[in-house]
Amino acid sequence: MLKPGDAAPDFVLKDQDGRDVRLSSFSGRPIVLFFYPKDNTPGCTIQAKGLRDHADDLAKHDAVIVGISLDPPESHLEWHESCHLGYTLLSDHEGRVHDLYDAWRTTLLGRSHFAVRRCTFIIDADGIIQAVHKNVNVFTHAKTVLKDLERLAAQKSWPRSHRKVEPPTPPTP
């Protein structure tokens, strides 16, 4: 799975309106990229509405929210409208982007089972992954994302030289 510090793989998928959307088109803004199992299911609806309900707080960080599932654009549109979601839902019906982001799990409740992993990637304005949540709690997801964005904003306020501490280079003989 991708980890903090990795460049976020770029991709193009159809949104809920059938339009092509490229992830890199959101560059310059933080991105909350979340993978979820299925539209119109109880857990996914709680997760999606949690992000919707925190839209004002997320907007303070100029964050773009993008949800991805295997569902077709038509399903996304129906769910988007019924839940009044104010953000983009993308259709990865072939699972290519799920593969890129390793958004699969192979066990569920101790049994062998191949399914979508509910996971989230926080990507900074430069396209670098800053946080990865592999096992998302649908009830606390929005607050977790908000904390990540607040941390990202705090790091951004530091001078560039203080953001990442590199180990000293050993002297060459």
pLDDT digits (tens, 9 = 90+) for 29-52: 999 999 999 999 999 999 999 999
Topology adopted by domain 12-162: Glutaredoxin (3.40.30)
The predicted structure's pLDDT at residue 135:
86
Name the average pLDDT for the chain: 89
pLDDT, tens digit, 9 for 90 and up, residues 98-124: 999 999 877 655 555 568 889 999 999
Residue 125: burial class (beta carbons within 10 Å; 0-12, 13-18, 19+): middle
Q: CA 34, 40, 43, 44: dihedral to nearest 10 degrees?
A: 10
Q: Is 44 a catalytic residue?
A: yes
d(CA 86, CA 161): 36
- Catalytic residue chosen out of the listed positions 21, 23, 31, 44: 44
The predicted structure's pLDDT at residue 28:
94
Under the phi-then-psi rule, with left for phi > 0, alpha for psi from -120 to 50, and beta for the rest, what region is 120? beta
Question: Which single residue is written with the structure tokens 């409740």?
Answer: 109
Q: Which amino acid is at 163?
A: R
User: Is 90 exceeded by the pLDDT of residue 141?
Assistant: yes
Q: What is the mean pLDDT of residues 83-96?
A: 95
